[in-house]
Amino acid sequence: MTNTASDTLAVVVEREMPFPSEKIWRALTQPHLVQEWLMKNDFVPALAHRFELRGDWGTVQCQVLEIEPNKTLAYTWAAMGLDSVVTWTLTATAGGTLVRMEQSGFRQDQQQAYQGAKFGWQQMFGKLEAVLAKLD
């Protein structure tokens, strides 16, 4: 059986943040900042770079799929049987930047991972905003 887009679920979180996209981009791509709001990592903002996110519960294997500075960042997110893709999109608004995160690829039988991601990304967005608020 082949997976089609309709067979999988996606978590989408969108939030307008009162910061320029360049500042948000730094928080999404600089390892020491990523660690503050997401997890420990060995991220490098380079196409095809493989990296790990390390949490208390285990590691996530990732690879950069797309990178367009201050606009788009996409990487694979593979952990505990989940093979997904996380895509960040930054769009300038009158009040700052619309930050959109989509994690796609949850199978129908991965409800626990899907529900966990829905909850988790909301938490991470809060942490991301806190990191941005104290960045110069």
Please report the beta strands in 1-136, taking only residues with DSSP state E, as ranges in sequence order: 8-17, 40-41, 50-55, 58-68, 72-79, 82-93, 96-107
**Residue 110: HSE in the Cβ half-sphere, 13 Å Cα cutoff:** 20
Do the strands 96-107 and 50-55 form a parallel or antiparallel pair, or are they unpaired? Answer: unpaired
Query: What's the pLDDT at 131?
Result: 98
Domain spans of the chain? 11-134
Q: How far out from the chain centre does Cα 1 lie? A: 28
Please state, in angstroms and rounded to a whole number, the distance separating the CA atoms of residues 14 and 52: 24
pLDDT at 2: 47
Query: CATH for 11-134?
Result: 3.30.530.20
From first to last of the 136 residues of the chain, give the pLDDT tens digit. Answer: 444 556 899 999 999 999 999 999 999 999 999 999 999 999 999 999 999 999 988 999 999 999 999 999 999 999 989 999 999 999 999 999 999 999 999 999 999 999 999 999 999 999 999 999 999 8
